[in-house]
Amino acid sequence: MARSVNVVLACFAMLAAALLSYVMTPHLLMARTHDAFNIDAHFPRAFGEWSELPGVQAVKPPADGLEATIYNQELARAYVDKDGHAVMLMVAYGESQSDRLQLHHPEICYTAQGFRVTKPATAPFQWSPTEKPIPLTRLVATREGRTEPIVYWMRIGYDVTNSNWARNRLKLEYGLRGWIPDGVLYRVSTLGVPENISLQVQEKFIRDLLNAVPPDTRAFMIGEPAKALL
């Protein structure tokens, strides 16, 4: 009799554990809560002093099987301003930021393609006098005479962070609410621009772009501070 009771209790415990695991595992994609966002259609080809520059190839994420799983949309464009400064914009979007799938940091992407990269440094960037600053991570990639200063940021759900620790915390906090956050990487780099003025050019480009796009595109780029968890 006692053996039968123990078997029943063990089965009940296993069933309860399986049910708890299911309940605690996020199942709802934040990306499914809004209409599909077509990156190519929403990002302007010309704005302010900037216009599209054809024929310039940006470094893209490694063309492997994992890339197709991580990223649902990618955009690579080059722009030029009235002074001839060329800026490359790379956008990589993934609808699911889980333990298995997450955005690649540019330093990993560039290193995998034979570049040497400097140690990344992150600092707040005040793109608007009235809005919350966003963190920009800066580094320089070099290969065979090509020097490419780079800045980037990442949006996870409603938040912007470039820190692995913060990204894992966000996935946990969104997960406790039942959500799997989406994520997008924005990378801005310059070629043929003196390194000492590259950051100035890049920040002007980002500031001009954020102020030129409509609110829904801006939220797609830098999240929504009123809903952010961090």
Instruction: Identify the pLDDT of residue 68.
Output: 55
pLDDT digits (tens, 9 = 90+) for 23-51: 334 447 777 555 678 999 999 999 999 99
The confidence score (pLDDT) of residue 190 equals: 96
Segments of the chain with pLDDT less than 50 = 5-27, 99-101
Residue 182 confidence (pLDDT)? 87
Under DSSP, the state recorded for 13 is H
Q: What's the alpha-carbon Rg for the chain, to the nearest Å?
A: 21
Measured between its terminal Cα atoms, the distance across the chain in Å is 54
pTM of the model: 0.83
Closest CA to 43 of 205, 195, 225, 200: 205
